[in-house]
Structure 1
Amino acid sequence: MSVTVRVPAKVNVQLAVGAARPDGFHDLANVFLAVGLYDEITVTPADELRITCTGPGADRVPLDTTNLAARAALALAARHGIDPRVHIHIAKDIPVAGGMAGGSADGAGALLACDTLWSLNSPQSELLSLCAELGSDVPFSLLGGAALGVGRGEQLTPLAVGGAFHWVFAVADGGLSTPTVFQEFDRLAAGKAIPPPTPDPALLDALRTGDAAALADTLSNDLQPAALSLRPSLAATLTTGTTAGALAALVSGSGPTTAFLTKDEETATQVATALQSSGTCHTARPTTSPARGATVVGLDRV
């Protein structure tokens, strides 16, 4: 049997970052929204654990046990005393190192795929606990929809969303390392008082009511100045998208992907076309949110 799981990218519609903690992490108020760009993870029995990857940016995906998909298979196998002899194939469509949790998505997808392949039927609470051990964004990749993440972002509270939101994601050439962006955040914040991160009630209300204009007024990302400091060219991308008609724009997570919220599908197409022809990004992808979390989409005999 082979099992295929589809798992979505995310955008942070609010990313409030607190001061560095003694353990090196930062407390966050992280409002996640899953969007309709997906990786697909296929897991098949094999003689040993191995990983392959295809799709945009596949050459930059590690194919060893540093990959979160491999770590997920190893963690689940260790929990249940299973020999993790599986072939994990990642079909990439989420930008690599793009601030959209592509690696975390692969970890969540592999976890669900292996759980299904091995007929473990683990409760979601157990899978979310394993996800939290793997990384801060991995639990949300499993859950999908919309959620508030606190702590490192791994402590999730699902949020209601009142309708579909239309987005364009401008994918930059190359990636940005999340740890490097946080280091730049710390450098820029040195000597400044950083308030404890809290979710914005107006933003949560905009999500609940499905009001795109209200959401546009409340989008925020405390990592954006750090990402722009490391990649100043992103400013031109942001300007291009807003000039073309986006309601609002921001860097997605740690970047360098930039996100543009639009009022409708027609405007999203218009903004994507303008970005694509501007030379300020590698490609521009229109899509919608919210999206379902990790979902089994294929069970095949091999």
Structure 2
Amino acid sequence: MIREFAPAKVNLTLRTGKVREDGYHPVDSIVVFADWGDALTAETGDGLSLSISGPQGGAIPADETNLVMRAARMLAEAAGVEAAARLGLAKSIPAGAGLGGGSADAAAALRALNRLWELDWPLEMLAGIGAEIGSDIPACLWSRPLRMTGRGERIRLIDEWPAFTALLVNPGVAVATGKVFQAFDDLPAGTGQGFRLTGGLDRLSVLADLNAATNDLTAPACAVAPNISGVLAELAEDGSAELVRMSGSGATCFAVYADSGVRDSAAEKLRARHPGWLVQPVEFPGVPAINPA
């Protein structure tokens, strides 16, 4: 049995423009991945099947509409092999959470089946297939700090990046990405700020530059799901967080903390006040500098 981790994708920053002629929105986003997410397994079997479990698996279809199944079918067709595998998906990432759960699952399926079917394709080839299914899938194939541009399919890996201790908070609301982008298009042009590296690559310098940037979808997402405003306010309330922002198109928000002790204290208070919320402590692994020999 082959196992692949499908980590939650977090947009530390997100700039976007009005819809293009092809129906997509241009984006520019700094993306990291958490040490928490879904898990996918793949093993040999007759035909192609998908079973779903986990705390967030109840509302996820296991039919051909699932991105995992679509990715498997497309890879088999592109490689000229039989689409035969038993796939299992354990869901921890909520649907419509702004954490790229479906894309992460599809990317994990592509990596797993690439191994199961002994294709030995590089990630760049898998990304070409993934981009036809969803704009976030190429980023999720790498699952490491990177910058997304274009409609999200253009990837530039970040060679050096600090690690962060963080908290993911979702108020139990699923937000449809399409509705958020529609609300964005209905608003006047914003004055958001993209990420610019003005200082060093140490943790505090990068945090300062992240705080100067924005997520352009925050206001339209809050209009679609007002609960998001409350989450952001509570994360910022006691001043212990070094960065507070919404991820992607919402509804999940995140806060970055100086250390796990401060984070865990904030998590305990939030759980006590909002037992129905998802409050998940995480780490965002970085990319250490390469010291020349």
Compute the TM-score of the two structures, normalised by the length of structure 2: 0.91
Q: Is the 8 A contact 1:202 1:218 kept in 2?
A: no
Mapped pair 1:170 → 2:169:
yes
Shift of 1:121: 0.5
Query: Partner of 2:274 in structure 1?
Result: 279
Instruction: Within 5 Å, give how 1:52-63 maps onto structure 2.
Output: 52-63=51-62
Give the AA of the match of 2:68. A
Query: Partner of 2:181 in structure 1?
Result: 182
State which of 250, 254, 264 in structure 2 corresponds to 1:255. Answer: 250
Number of residue equivalences:
285
State which of 240, 257, 271 in structure 1 corresponds to 2:234. Answer: 240
Query: Partner of 2:84 in structure 1?
Result: 85
Shift of 1:210: 2.2
Question: Which whole-Å deviations, capped at 9, do the CAs of 1:11-59 have from their partners, x for residues lacking one?
Answer: 1111001111112111111111111112111112222212111112211
Q: Is the 8 A contact 1:161 1:290 kept in 2?
A: no
Give the match's secondary structure for 1:221: coil
State which of 202, 210, 228 in structure 2 corresponds to 1:209. Answer: 202
Shift of 1:200: 2.0
Give the match's secondary structure for 1:133: helix
Q: How far apart are the structure 2 equivalents of 1:50 and 1:24?
A: 32
Give the AA of the match of 1:243. E
Q: Is the 8 A contact 1:9 1:105 kept in 2?
A: yes
Q: Is the 8 A contact 1:104 1:137 kept in 2?
A: yes
Q: How far apart are the structure 2 equivalents of 1:213 and 1:74?
A: 41
Give the AA of the match of 1:112. R
Q: Which has the higher contact order (CA 8 A, sep 6+)?
A: 1
Q: How far apart are the structure 2 equivalents of 1:139 and 1:291?
A: 19
Determine which structure has the larger strand proportion and give its number. 1
Question: Which whole-Å deviations, capped at 9, do the CAs of 1:130-155 have from their partners, x for residues lacking one?
Answer: 12112111111111221111110110
Give the match's secondary structure for 1:4: strand
Query: Partner of 1:295 in structure 2?
Result: none
Q: How far apart are the structure 1 equivalents of 2:262 and 2:210?
A: 14
Query: Partner of 1:160 in structure 2?
Result: 159
Instruction: Within 5 Å, give how 1:80-159 maps onto structure 2.
Output: 80-159=79-158
Q: How far apart are the structure 2 equivalents of 1:11 and 1:117?
A: 28
Shift of 1:88: 1.3
Q: Is the 8 A contact 2:145 2:161 kept in 1?
A: no
- Structure 1: which 4+ aligned runs deviate by more than 6 Å? none
- Taking structure 1 as reference, are residues 55 and 230 closer, same or farther at Cα in structure 2, changes over 3 Å only? same
- Taking structure 1 as reference, are residues 146 and 213 closer, same or farther at Cα in structure 2, changes over 3 Å only? closer
Question: Which whole-Å deviations, capped at 9, do the CAs of 1:137-179 have from their partners, x for residues lacking one?
Answer: 1111111221111110110001134432011001221311111
State which of 216, 219, 243 in structure 2 corresponds to 1:225. Answer: 219
Shift of 1:251: 1.3
Compute the TM-score of the two structures, normalised by the length of structure 1: 0.88
Q: Please say which of residues 30-39 and 278-287 is displaced more in the overlay.
A: 278-287
Q: How far apart are the structure 2 equivalents of 1:227 and 1:280?
A: 23
Q: Is the 8 A contact 1:168 1:286 kept in 2?
A: yes
> CA RMSD, aligned part only?
2.0
Shift of 1:181: 1.1
Q: Is the 8 A contact 2:56 2:93 kept in 1?
A: no
Q: How far apart are the structure 2 equivalents of 1:240 and 1:36?
A: 23
Give the match's secondary structure for 1:183: helix
Shift of 1:290: 2.4
Q: Is the 8 A contact 1:30 1:150 kept in 2?
A: yes
Question: Which whole-Å deviations, capped at 9, do the CAs of 1:101-132 have from their partners, x for residues lacking one?
Answer: 00000000000111100011012211121121
